[in-house]
Amino acid sequence: MSFIVQESVKMGKPLIAASFNYRLGGSGFLPGTSVHKSRAANLGLHDQRMALRWIQENIAAFGGDASRVTVQGESAGAFSIGVHYLTNEEQDEEFFHAAIAESGGPVLGAPLTASDEQDVMYERILTDIGCLAMKDDLECLRSQDASKLNQAFARTSGSYVPILDADLVTGYTSVALREGRFSNRPLLIGTCYNEASSIIVASCFAANTSADFQDYVAGSWKGISSTTINGIVDEYVNKMSEEELKKSLGTIRQSPGPQYGSLFGNLAMYQGDIIFDATRRYTTEVWGQYRVPVYSYRFSVVPNGIDSEILGVPHFQEIPFAFRNFDGVGHEVNRLASASL
């Protein structure tokens, strides 16, 4: 974050930057009824709130202003920021006055995991660790070595995301947003031009027909009705003109190769919309409706080394520009890589 701080000084508007770690994966978002009953759900979110509370209490000692804290997060971090905007009134402490959400926001880009699916994931973890037969299975997990737990979390299929806990996440975030139940604080929110291209490539799913497209949608959103699936396919395949698709994809080719499928571009556009772009647009509409300051961007620079015809500007590609870290590790910028800047 040193680059942002240095730039702020050059602009004559110096800022103080603070970063923190929070529990991820199963350590921070362990699913299951037992976890929920033990009030151990969404620990990652509680970690974040603890860090933000510490900043409120201590930032003045570093020359900062607790009433002018702006939080910034990308992807899962941006979705976390969205959750903090929508916490219930009892939990709504004034931790920040504005936020920057990169590729994420108040509307979660994936459906909340159903309680039965949570329990299936939890039992798989217990079985893997050897705690399934224990009377206090959660305490058994707590007694395990961290590396052993992390291996079990990694082997268990499913998503470690925030769950409904009757505490921080009391309902569907989209509903809370629609009803205006959010903190009226300024927001800067944005996405990359081809957010989901890398997701489709990683899935190794090749869609060549409308039926293939239907299978992908049905597999990625459990419980979705056939009527909704057919409507999505109709919009993204049948009604999508070649000109509209080309404009929406930017540098990406609709079919960059047989291994990607003839509907690769359509699929990448759909997935990017449903997780990132539609939620960004909806968020800005709601903020505008309630006359809360909101700013939106769409990052469209194809980075060096990225295949422009397959990936274009995928998820995460604005980060090196925002933080001026082209290696992704450490604090030092590779002088050779940045020599032309």
Count CA atoms within 13 Å of residue 137 on its CB side.
Answer: 19
**Residue type for position 91:** Q
Annotated catalytic residue, options 19, 34, 67, 75? 75
Residue 81, Cβ density class (10 Å: 0-12 exposed, 13-18 middle, ≥19 buried): buried
What per-residue string of b and e applies to 290-312 under the rule 16 or more CB within 10 Å gives b?
Answer: eeeebeeeebeebbeebeeebbb
Residue 55: phi and psi, rounded to 5, are: -65, -40
The residue among 185, 169, 187 whose CA lies nearest residue 72 is 187
CB 63 within 8 A of CB 14: no
| 163: alpha, beta or left? (left if phi > 0; alpha if psi -120 to 50) | beta
Active site annotation includes 19:
no
CB 83 within 8 A of CB 45: yes
Active-site residues: which are they? Answer: 75
